[in-house]
Structure 1
Amino acid sequence: MSGSAQVHAWRPELDGVVEVLHAYFPSHAYPSHTHDAWTVLIVDEGVVRYDLDHREHGLAQAQVSLLPPNVPHDGRSVRPEGFRKRVLYLEPSRLGTDLIGAAVDRPEYVDPVLRQRIHQLHEVLTNGQEALESESRLALIEERLQQHLRRQVTAPPDRRDPGVASRLRELLDGHLPTGITLDEAALLVHAHPTHLVRAFTREYGMPPHRYLTGRRVDLARRYLLEGRPPSEVATLAGFYDQSHLTRHFRKMLGVSPGQFVRP
């Protein structure tokens, strides 16, 4: 790593996430400061050392760091080449202020599943086109973080709930072009968002966002076979734009929408 600092920050259209930050710092050292949000941090290159509430901690690539709101911390690179990081800032209510003390006591976790889920959420948020997927991934991340904070690292036992799964599928089928948020579905089905994701995945072998995408691709096929142009089909089938349709269409069928109907 070399060169000047690079920072990309934005507020995604995802309830509960107040900011996303991707940054490379070759030499910058953060002075002591606080955030009014939960800070979920992963390091992609380098090693970071920081003081949290006057106690020193380190963060390498295999770990996840969770810094609680309103607790002073700083940050600096251990290595001369600097560090590259990705950060999610979550609203305080997403994990609860009653767990701040637990995060101060143990802010780092070696948890490959959690780190992979955070990485996947960053990928989705960078794309900015998969609302249901980002909501589902955030729900699972928050559940696992709370398990760590409460010292219950093992996931809850799997329970089949075909009724909940079936009702969610009906909602997804009924909202193909417009979509429905995970929170909206949870209110209608009377189940916690995380339970919705788990119940659906166990029942149908795929998460709800993947099911919704597949059904939208099916709908797009019907419109294409009617002779509608791909730019129009993308909107009618619920995709963000034509490139969004093309990416998922090619992933599902191996060809673009134009190739699908080409004689």
Structure 2
Amino acid sequence: MFSKQFSRTLHTTLCYCKNVKLKNFKGKGASSAQWLTRQLSDPYVDKAKMMNYRCRSAFKLVEMDDRFKFLSPGQIVIDCGAAPGSWTQVAVKRVNADNSKENAPFGTVISIDKQQIYPIMGATILGNSDFTTASTQDKIKTLLENKKVDTVLSDMAPNATGVKDMDDENIINLCYSVLRFAVLVSNIDATLVVKLWQSNYTKTLENDMLHFYKTVKTVKPQASRSDSAEIFLLAREFKGLKCS
């Protein structure tokens, strides 16, 4: 279903300590207590605070880039679903968008989210902006000034409904939105990273990405909680588009 829909759309476009016990938590729901317990026992939460990252999710991108090395000084990066901004913080440093590395190329990071994103030095922020809309994507293209993108990142996820089939469909639609945009603005050999949840749609998305990228790899960073269904698809070496 998604392959056909995607092809039609693209064709039209182109031509904090473990085992913490909580006390005095009356009045809070079980899910709230579970979340707080998990936060208190999560080493990445404390590590994020120590390193001044806005969220523990920064370490997912750190791990992936340390392993696969797709971010480097001078690159242009688009960060979709960026709030609160931890991936942007990582990207800014690694592509030198804050010009903190002497004698290194100066990079660019553009960050987008439906929520407000507080300023991050070195990043251009598009807060309160829905990436999936044409108006927001036009703003991004204007900011690019006809330059091509080296890396597109997406940590976007929809609000969970609790209905698995609906949630799986919603997040996969976000992934296709990012893919459609990425293939139109990316440099040859560019990289794309998208978050999704393991589902029956995963293989279809991977196959569609392989039409445009030489390799697609499923990645589950250690910083991604083991009880989470989230995974990342890392697409490397964008082939470019050819109109027939």
Q: Which TM-score bucket, shorter chain as reference?
A: under 0.3
Larger helix fraction of residues: 1
Query: Which structure has the higher relative contact order (CA within 8 Å, separation 6+)?
Result: 2
User: Could you state the TM-score of these two structures normalised by the residue count of structure 2?
Assistant: 0.26
- Rg comparison, structure with higher value: 1
